[in-house]
Amino acid sequence: MTTVFVRHEVSDYTAWRKVYDGFRSVQAANGVISEAVYQSADNPNDITVTHEFATPEAAKAFMQLEELRSAMRTGGILGAPTVWVAEKV
């Protein structure tokens, strides 16, 4: 199991969440097995998202989607996200 962690700040959590929730069909069609959203206790606009994939290749392909980049721009992400990929052991 491969998990992608993405942490970023958004300009408005509520607006970002609408875009994120509207992206679920693209996630499902592109190998996302499960996902979760975490919000910082100190800053509601500091978000960490996890997506689980069956393989590292599926995770890499998802992260390269132009649809994903477009959704991130539309969602109001501030600055560059911090992204890391981990394998469940």
User: Does residue 33 register a pLDDT over 90?
Assistant: yes
| Helix, strand counts (H, E) of the chain | 4, 4
SS3 1: coil
* pLDDT at position 52: 97
Query: Which one is predicted more confidently, 54 or 88?
Result: 54
Instruction: Tell me the sheet residues that pair with 85.
Output: 4
CB of 1 closer than 8 Å to CB of 86: no
User: Does residue 20 register a pLDDT over 90?
Assistant: yes
**Residues 2-87, CATH architecture:** 2-Layer Sandwich (3.30)
The model's pTM is 0.89
* pLDDT at position 34: 96
Instruction: Tell me the sheet residues that pair with 39.
Output: 47
User: Does residue 73 register a pLDDT over 90?
Assistant: no
Burial class (CB in 10 A: 0-12, 13-18, 19+), 73: exposed
> Residue ranges per domain, the chain?
2-87
Q: How confident is the model at residue 31 (pLDDT cuts 50, 70, 90)?
A: very high
Spatial CB neighbours of 66, under 8 Å, sequence gap ≥ 6: none
Q: How confident is the model at residue 88 (pLDDT cuts 50, 70, 90)?
A: confident
